[in-house]
Amino acid sequence: MRQLCLLAFMLALLVVGLGAYTRLTDAGLGCPDWPGCYGFHYIPSSADDHSLAAARFPDAPLEVAKARNEMVHRYAAGTLGLLILAMALLSLKPAYRAHRLPAWILLLLVAGQAILGMLTVTLNLLPLVVMGHLLGGFAILSLLFLLYCSSRPAPARGGVAGLAPWYLVAFGALVIQIALGGWTAANYAAMACLELPVCQGDWLAQWQWSAFHPHGVTADNYQYGVLSQEERVSIHVAHRLWAGLTTVLLLALAWQLWRRPGLKGWGLLLLLGVLLQVSLGVANVLLHLPLAVAVAHNGGAAGLLLILVGIGERGWRIGACPAGGALWGPQQHQADKGDIPREAI
């Protein structure tokens, strides 16, 4: 089970990266149908494939590069689904009863992701669906990481008193920031502001609350966005402003972690993650959204989320069961003789 979890986690990292790459190369509709591609179950590339694709979808000309990006993402996501299905089936064995609930929650999330993936295509990149698909992928990645972290021996000591409020506020701010990033990408607002620290002069005069309404299906196609420039500026500015608040909260949490025994490493890791993500965000604006930097920025958001998941898991286990075992089952842990009397070992 632990090996399956690690393999699924590594593949989930790849799927999240491929999803960002697919979105940023405008390949979300590289295949106009689902789950196949122009009626094929492989990447169409030959002259005969082009002819059949044109006959089947005359209004959606085949672009092989975009179709390839989309299908590679689908293949990877499908393989991840099969791995999580294997975890769920394995959890039916009595020896893995402790893993049953999280494994089946993961399977439900995968099923939901498959539905959102289908709707992404059939609703032609409806922003609310695209953002939900992004958040679903991050949720699967986080839960897999949480399960894997739980397989480690429980930490014997550490200071977590009073840490929960700092952690919960920072975690909530980061989730909102990730959602804003997804909304920015789904509405093609990443290039709405091309300067720092201001945005198109008086951005406040351009503010449009309508940019944040989860509109229903009102357009035939949402590729390249349907919102006005003012609405895109509003989305971009909201993402920037909340990023500033999130940065302050994450740095405050990093400081709290640094001050506590057993959590200094996590504090340093969080600090480095925040600095890297802010640098990537600034580079996206100044360099006009280069593909490699934009994909890395998406990965940085996932990295920060995983760091917070790891901090939360470790903090909970220090506070709840400082000498407990792992989620994966009984394990023998060697006690520190300087902390625990020999008679208790």
Per-residue pLDDT of the chain (345 residues; tens, 9 = 90+): 889 999 999 999 999 999 999 999 999 999 999 999 999 988 988 899 999 999 999 999 999 999 999 999 999 999 999 999 999 999 999 988 888 999 999 999 999 999 999 999 999 999 999 999 999 999 999 999 999 988 776 665 556 778 889 999 999 999 999 999 999 999 999 999 988 888 877 788 888 999 998 877 677 889 999 999 999 999 999 999 999 999 999 999 999 999 888 788 999 999 999 999 999 999 999 999 999 999 999 999 999 999 999 999 888 877 654 443 343 333 333 333 334 333 333
* pLDDT of the residue at 328: 37
Whether 70 is catalytic: yes
In a domain, 291, yes or no: yes
- pLDDT given for residue 343 in this prediction: 38
Any domain includes 124 = yes
- Give the pLDDT score at 320: 52
Q: Is there a domain that residue 334 lies in?
A: no
Cα distances (angstroms) measured from residue 57 to each of 29, 52, 62, 68, 69: 12, 9, 9, 17, 19
Annotated catalytic residue: which of 63, 70, 230, 231?
70
**The predicted structure's pLDDT at residue 16:** 96
Q: How far apart are CA 92 and CA 331, in angstroms?
A: 21
Which domain range does residue 144 map to?
Answer: 1-151
Q: For residue 277, which amino acid is it? A: Q
Is residue 337 situated within a structural domain?
no
Domain assignment present for residue 22? The answer is: yes
pLDDT given for residue 119 in this prediction? 95
Final residue belonging to a domain, choices 151, 171, 199: 151
| pLDDT value at residue 155 | 62
The CA angle 173-177-180, to the nearest 5 degrees, is 140
Residue 335 covered by a domain: no
Domain assignment present for 40: yes
Query: What would the two tokens of residue 100 be?
Result: 């049953």
